[in-house]
Amino acid sequence: MRKSVAGKLRKALELSFQHNRRFLSSSHSRFLSSTPVVFDSATSTSMADSSSSSHASPPLSLQTINPKVLKCEYAVRGEIVTLAQRLQQELQEKPGSHPFDEILYCNIGNPQSLGQQPITFFREVLALCDHPAILDKSETQGLFSADAIERAWQILDQIPGRATGAYSHSQGIKGLRDTIAAGIEARDGYPANPNDIFLTDGASPAVHMMMQLLIRSEKDGILCPIPQYPLYSASIALHGGTLVPYYLDEASGWGLEILELKKQLEEAKSKGISVRALVVINPGNPTGQVVAEGNQRDIVEFCKQEGLVLLADEVYQENVYVPEKEFHSFKKVSRSMGYGEDDIALVSFQSVSKGYYGECGKRGGYMEVTGFSADIREQIYKVASVNLCSNISGQILASLVMSPPKVGDESYESYRAERDGILSSLARRAKTLEDAFNNLEGITCNKAEGAMYLFPRINLPQKAIKAAEAVKEAPDAFYCHRLLNATGIVFVPGSGFGQAPGTWHFRCTILPQEDKIPAIVSRLTDFHKGFMDEFRD
């Protein structure tokens, strides 16, 4: 017998919000300025004259640390968020000190921090794998569903000695990779090889691994969409490469134009940059578009012709909200074009953090690496082995995500209900917020076809832009700052993601619970009206 998550959990979570506030730091300053992210080619600073400077300064000081660390930026947890946390603490200490009584975090794709419930079946299996000693006990039958118990046994049998506390194979437990490969095949209709799969602590470390492999110097360029999820710009900066931007076309629903890709590629080449790979985020972050299949074929063809590695960030593959679009993996598209291992080098990233499962805190994910020679794959394995392996619980979860309950399984109905409930709610929230933004003066917002974000464009009046300049803030950061101070709502300025020069945006997640959305909309609307009244030209 199994229970769905009940009131006590909500209570515990409420307590956790309150408790958490007490510990939030206000003292330490944060790192990011709100100036727009610069995407020009990165010339790495020449090494400081080490002998003289490091005698004067301690080894770990701003003057002496790796300049690439100084250079990289990550707005999702940047300055505006630090400010929000400070305000939250102030509210806690002095209720009524602000014109709002709670902070509404719309800055980060972290569903369970905003009340989304985990999928019960997944958590049952994970709990049993964490504490296999109870599998033999009769009381366990009363607390867990039979198919969860069965799946736990199945998984444990794939782990040597059933030891979930042991380091596994550096690519991840073989049996789990088999399950994932089967899941990929069921999804795409084309086979997947478990030896192509590298399980990682979330998709992000896998992205870092590929950047490390591909980037030799600042002469190596990686094509990235603008706007992009700033893991890419940060990772490229950290590894000393150059980000080569390609602009998504806002007017056509954030469309990806091959001509734009070609243009940016040629321009980079003319500057002596060797472009190594193309990053495509599908569905897009922050932009939410689902790439049309025809477009995907063009992209595959482009990479093949130009000899680029295709880095396909597909972590939002289960977040599609519009009936006219469907997710197709780039692997499926490539294979459907008749392109195999010899034709295209493709790395596909997936994660347990998004979809309908939203298990961000578990740090589970994988990359599927195809079209690379054996000696390169050995190198990838070697780098993975230095960290020994990714966390086992995350590995198990990745396998569950890729092979959830099926029709006929005891847990299928409730699993389906939970999943559909979350996905339909996300679709509703996406629509509600999109409409709300489009109703505001000077704001246009493309539909979120997928992912978890809206990226509205704001046409800021000149007066506002000048006011921003006067306080040395980017105009979009100025707006977000004002919004936060007036309403407690946290958006991330578009400069954190990149945008066409002269345009301003902000990113808002669709994740606050449905009952909070009306409050967000009304507070935002009131604020925006006031702001425009103040700054209208």
Partner 1 sequence: MPLKALDYESINENVKKTQYAVRGELYLRASELQKEGKKIIFTNVGNPHALGQKPLTFPRQVVALCQAPFLLDDPNVGLLFPADAIARAKHYLSLTSGGLGAYSDSRGVPGIRKEVAEFIGRRDGYPSDPELIFLTDGASKGVMQMLNTIIRGEGDGILVPVPQYPLYSAAITLFGGSLVPYYLEETANWGLDVDDLRQSVAQARSKGITVRAMVIINPGNPTGQCLSEANLREILKFCYQENLVLLGDEVYQQNIYQDERPFISSRKVLLDMGPPISKEVQLISFHTVSKGYWGECGQRGGYFEMTNIPPETVDEIYKVSSISLSPNVPAQIFLGLMVNPPRPGDISYEQYVRESKGILESLRRRASIMTDGFNSCRNVVCNFTEGAMYSFPQIRLPPKAIEAAKRAGKVPDVFYCLKLLEATGISTVPGSGFGQKEGMFHLRTTILPAEEDMPAIMESFKKFNDEFMEQYEDHRGYSRM
Binders of partner 1 among 309-328, rule CB under 8 A?
Answer: 309
Q: Which residues is 351 bridged to in the sheet?
A: 365
Contact residues for 57 (Cβ-Cβ < 8 A; gap 6+): 63, 64
Mask for 132-171, x = binds partner 1 (CB under 8 A): -xx--x-xx-xx----------------xx-xxxxxx-x-
Among 90, 186, 340, 382, binds partner 1 (CB under 8 A): 382
Q: Identify the three-state secondary structure at position 170.
A: coil
CB closer to partner 1 out of 91 and 468? 91
- Judged by CB, which is closer to partner 1: 252, or 379? 379
Which one, 71 or 325, has the nearer CB to partner 1?
71
Between 491 and 527, CB nearer to partner 1: 491
Stretch that binds partner 1, among 125-133, 322-330, 418-426, 487-495 (CB under 8 A): 125-133
The answer to whether 305 contacts partner 1 (rule: CB under 8 A) is yes
Angle at which helix 374-386 crosses helix 203-214, to 10 degrees, equals: 120
Site for partner 1 in 285-304 (CB under 8 A): 303-304
Q: In this chain, which stretch among 107-115, 417-425, 469-477, 515-523 interacts with partner 1, using CB under 8 A?
A: 107-115
Please pick, from the candidates 146, 258, 376, 417, the single residue that binds partner 1 as defined by CB under 8 A.
376
DSSP of 375-415, one letter per residue?
HHHHHHHHHHHHT----HHHHHHHHHHHS---TTSTTHHHH
Strand 506-509 to 453-454 pairing: antiparallel
> How many Å apart are CA 176 and CA 209, to the nearest integer?
21
- Is position 48 an interface residue for partner 1 (rule: CB under 8 A)? yes
In terms of CB distance, is 30 or 297 closer to partner 1? 30
35, 154, 252, 379: which one contacts partner 1 (CB under 8 A)?
379
Burial 474-507 (b: 16+ CB within 10 A, else e): bbbbbbbbbbbebbbbbbbbbbbbbbbeeebbbb
Q: Three-state DSSP class for 288?
A: coil
Does 270 engage in binding with partner 1 (CB under 8 A)?
A: no
Shortest Cβ 464–partner 1 spacing (Å): 28
Minimum CB distance to partner 1, residue 63 (Å): 10
Smaller CB separation from partner 1, 41 or 64:
64
- Distant-in-sequence, close-in-space partners of 239: CB < 8 Å, separation ≥ 6: 68, 208, 211, 212, 215
Q: Does the footprint of partner 1 cover residue 12 (CB under 8 A)?
A: yes
Tell how many helices (H) and how many strands (E) occur in the chain: 19, 14
Q: Which is nearer to partner 1, 409 or 441 (CB)?
A: 409
How far is CA 446 from each of CA 429, 434, 458, rounded to the nearest angstrom?
14, 7, 12
Taking the C-alpha atoms of residue 168 and residue 514, their distance in angstroms, rounded to an integer, is 40
Tell me how far apart the alpha carbons of residues 331 and 184 are, in angstroms, rounded to a whole number. Answer: 9
Closer residue to partner 1 in complex, CB, 240/475: 240
Helix axes 231-238, 203-214, angle to 10 degrees: 40
Residue count, binding to partner 1 (CB under 8 A): 128
The answer to the question of residue 124 lying near partner 1 (CB under 8 A) is yes
Identify the DSSP state of 166: S
38 binds partner 1 (CB under 8 A): no
If binding is defined by CB under 8 A, does position 417 make contact with partner 1? no
Count other C-beta atoms under 10 Å from residue 181's C-beta.
Answer: 20
Nearer residue to partner 1 within complex by CB, 167 or 459: 167
Residues 181-240 that bind partner 1 (CB under 8 A): 201-202, 204-205, 212-216, 231, 234-235, 238
Verify binding: residue 47, partner 1, rule CB under 8 A: yes
Pick one of 331, 332, 354, 363: the residue that binds partner 1 (CB under 8 A).
363
The radius of gyration computed from the CA coordinates of the chain, to the nearest angstrom, equals 24
Q: Given candidates 37, 176, 345, 486, which one binds partner 1 under the rule CB under 8 A?
A: 345
